[in-house]
Structure 1
C-alpha cells in the first residue's frame, strides 16, 4: 500500500477534531475520580457550575449553555433531582418552561467542589497564560461551530 503524501487531507495528524477529541477524553478521565468524591458525573458538574453562577435556569437555557439537546438534558436533570441536588418546577408565568433550581444540598456542594479546579491542574506542567490562550481559542472554535451548525439546521 502506498503511503499518503504530506498534503493528504485525511491524515490523522492534520485533523483538528482528533486532538480535541483526545483532550476531551483525557480530561474526562482526570475529572472522573475527583468528581466521584462529590457524587457527580462530568455533565452533572457542568450543570452545577451553571446553577452555582445563576439560578434558576430553564431546561432550554441549560441546554443552550452546555450545547446539549433537551433529550440529553432532561434525563440528566431527573437523575440530579433524584440525588437531591436540584428541583424542577413549572414556570408560573409560562407553564411550557421548566425551571431548575438548586436545593440546599446542591448549594452546599459548591463549597466541597472548590478544590476541583486545583486538583485537576495538579501535576500538569502547563503555563496558566497558555491555558488562558487555549481556552479563548477553543471558545472561538465552539462559537464558530455553533454558528455553522445553526446555519445547516
Structure 2
C-alpha cells in the first residue's frame, strides 16, 4: 500500500484521490489553527511556495483531537488558515488521526513510521514525508520546524529531476 491508494475529502467537501499526487513529493501534516505550533503554517506555506512548481505539495489535515485546538467547522478552519497564515496549500476536511475512528490514511502513515514515536500521533503538526511513489519515508515530530525538512525535500526533488 501507498498513500496514492487513499481517498480524502477536501475542505470544500469534495472527494479527492491522493493518486492525483502521483509523481509529487508530499508533506502530510495534521494541523490545528488554535495550537501554539500554528505559526508553523507560515513555514509550511513557504515550503509549498518554494517547491510547488518542482513537484511538491503540503497537504494539511485539520484535527481537533488535541485539547480541542481546531473546534470550528471546515469553512471556519479554511478561513482561519487563509486569513491568519496565508495558507493556500491543499487543506482537507477535519479528521481524527488517533483512535478507532482514525482516518485510514493516518492509520497507514502511523503503521509505516511506528517506532520510537509508538503508533499514535502525539500532537498537532506531526509531519510525514512521502516520496513521488507514495511511500512514507520519514515522520517528523510536531516541534520540527518546516525549514528543517527543506533539504530532504530538495534532495527528493533533485533525484526525481535526474531520473526524468
- Structure index of larger Rg: 1
Q: Same fold (TM over 0.5)?
A: no
Higher helix share: 1
TM-score, length of structure 2 as denominator length = 0.30
TM-score, length of structure 1 as denominator length = 0.31
